[in-house]
Amino acid sequence: MTSTVTKLCGSTKTKSGRPCRIRVKDKDLCYKHNKDAIRCRALTDSKTNCVNVVSRVGNRCPIHSIKCEALTDTGTNCINIVSKVGYKCVDHGGEEKVETERVCTVCNKMKSFEEFYTDRKAKYEITERCKECIKQSPNPQKQRDRGVKR
């Protein structure tokens, strides 16, 4: 059984100047100090870009997500997330969003479905890693077979 070692982020770029105490795996930095993390980037009230971390390029954090806001049966506004202001969710007569792109879990780039291999068990029936990243990753089966003569 393998266990991952956690340590403190340790970044000194905090408001107080003391090292960051958020626990992270191995040599990574926490979400606040990782420069490569995907950020919301929505314009805030103070006219700066939001720096909250999101899972995919183009997504917004819960604070800046655009809501459907159609009136529901209970008299409250709908809180389903839509892509543009004025759009309605599927529940309120809006068009269903058709996914045609996905973010590769290795290179974190938004790519079209054609740049992924098919996998019937996966979400959208395509792999999580793009073809390019799969080709670049070392294959343990090939490395084992190199030493064996047939």
Q: What pLDDT digit, counting tens, does each position of 84-141 carry?
A: 777 778 788 776 556 678 888 888 888 888 899 988 887 678 888 899 998 888 776 6
Question: Which backbone phi and psi does 144 adopt, to 5 degrees?
Answer: -70, -40
pTM of the model: 0.36
pLDDT of residue 132: 92
In a domain, 124, yes or no: yes
Domain that holds residue 124: 99-139
The arithmetic mean of pLDDT across residues 46-71, rounded, is 78
Contacts of 88 (CB under 8 A, 6+ apart): 68, 70, 82, 94
Count of structural domains, the chain: 2
In a domain, 31, yes or no: no
pLDDT of residue 38: 78
Q: Tell me: pLDDT of 2 over 70.
A: no
In a domain, 46, yes or no: no
Q: Where are the beta strands (DSSP E) in 14-100?
A: 23-25, 66-67, 81-82
In a domain, 109, yes or no: yes
Residues 103, 75 share a domain: no
First to last CA, the chain: 33
pLDDT of residue 126: 86
In a domain, 15, yes or no: no
In a domain, 88, yes or no: yes
pLDDT of residue 131: 92
In a domain, 116, yes or no: yes
